[in-house]
Structure 1
Amino acid sequence: MAKRANPYTDDFIQQSKIYVGLKQLNNNEDGLRKVYEKTLELLFRGAKKSQNSTQSCETVHVERKDGMKQLFIGKDGSLLHFGNMAIDKNMEAQYCACSGLKVNCCAYCEIALCVACQHQCGVCQQFYCSKCSLIGQEGTEICVSCYT
């Protein structure tokens, strides 16, 4: 025997549970525009502050060994493919985290390394810190770039 037909199909409205929270209420165009404008204002304020503090720095054009280029933020917030990095000349000698005098920089994260903290990659022969190097097969050290 077949089921009998529902007599209330004409006025049946399917109900579903909907959760509307604070995040959904604030996620409109006006709210997102306010957040975007505030973020831009904070970025530009920080850039102005850093420009004022770099008066005692000299700009140095840095060539990287791996051929990568550094991007710079322009005055209008756009990315520039040319520029110079500011290096503080008041900073005398940089020290490694273990209080040793800096000899090299990590080729991956560019922190200061002393003789005791540097690890040489067995593949590319560059120096890395202990966080950016791994132990490979046969006990050789391999950097995270060459470990693929």
Structure 2
Amino acid sequence: MPKRSYPFSESFSSQYKVHVGQKQINNCGAFGLKYRQEVYEKTKNLLFNGTKAMMGRIWKADALVSGPAAVSPAPGPQTLLKGQTRIGLDGRLQRASAAPGCAAAPSACCVCQRVSGLRKPCSQCERPACAACIRQCNICSDRCCSLCTITDYSERYERVLCCGCSS
């Protein structure tokens, strides 16, 4: 009497070995959104607390360098150079204008970082760029740095577009 044939197809497997760990349960399970929100909040708090601690150390170091008779600066708005940004209490970036009496930083080209030569501000980001790094938009004719322009190769000749015209 011959052997019976195998009744299932070749690809059928009644048992698969699948690893289901805590990460898979948290990402795809019922409480996945809650878990991701907790991780986000914890990471954000660590970043903000680390920045506050670092700034506290910088302020203490400034007070020690200037002498014991000097008053340590209060944690409040700091003087920023033109173009610098800081993180506000709501977590958004805030741009500041140059503080009065604050020495201006040496303005190098925002693209090639060269200090020599004449620099003009970009019409998009207002950072100084040298003549070699400035491009003119083919649509609005604004002069932008090469970081704020996109080169379009879809037509016969290439076109330079600023970020405002490219969207």
User: Under a length normalisation based on structure 1, what TM-score does the superposition of the two structures give?
Assistant: 0.51
Alignment partner, residue 166 of structure 2: 147
Runs of 5+ unmatched residues, structure 2: 1-13, 60-76
1:92-111 equivalent positions in 2, closer than 5 A: 92-96=105-109, 97-99=112-114, 100-101=116-117, 103-111=119-127
Quote how far apart the aligned CAs of 1:85 are.
Answer: 1.5
Match of 2:38 in 1: 33
Question: Relative to 1, partners in 2 of residues 1:142 and 1:41: Cα closer, same or farther, differing over 3 Å?
Answer: same
Say whether 1:130 aligns with 2:146. Answer: yes
Q: Which runs of 5+ in 1 are unaligned?
A: 1-13, 63-71
State the percentage of identical aligned residues: 22
Structure 1 residue 23 and structure 2 residue 23: aligned?
yes
Cα 1:129–1:119 shift into 2, 3 Å = same
Give the residue type in structure 1 aligned to 2:161.
I
Structure 2 vs 1, CA of residues 78 and 141 (structure 1 numbering), >3 Å: closer, same or farther? closer
20-29 or 113-122: which moved more?
Answer: 20-29
- Offset of residue 105 of structure 1: 3.3
Moved more, 93-102 or 45-54: 45-54
The TM-score with structure 2 as length reference comes to 0.46
Q: Which has the higher contact order (CA 8 A, sep 6+)?
A: 1
Paired positions, count: 121
| 8 Å contact from structure 2 (residues 80, 96) kept in 1 | no
**Using a 3 Å threshold, how does the CA distance of structure 1 residues 34 and 116 change in structure 2: closer, same or farther?**
closer
Q: Within 1, Cα distance between the matches of 2:55 and 2:117?
A: 27
Contact preservation (8 Å) 2:151, 2:158: no
Q: Secondary structure at the match of 2:41?
A: helix
Q: 1:112 Cα deviation (Å)? A: 2.9
Task: Tell me how far apart the structure 1 counterparts of residues 138 and 131 of structure 2 sit (CA, whole Å).
Answer: 17
Q: Which has the larger displacement, 109-118 or 85-94?
A: 85-94
What is the distance in 2 between the residues matched to 1:30 and 1:101? 54
Q: CA RMSD of the aligned region, Å?
A: 4.3
Deviation at 1:39, TM superposition (A): 1.8
Q: Is the contact made by 1:103 and 1:114 (CA closer than 8 Å) also made in structure 2?
A: yes
Q: Provide the secondary structure at the position in 1 that maps to 2:165.
A: coil
Corresponding position of 1:42: 47
Contact 1:104-1:127 within 8 A present in 2 as well: no
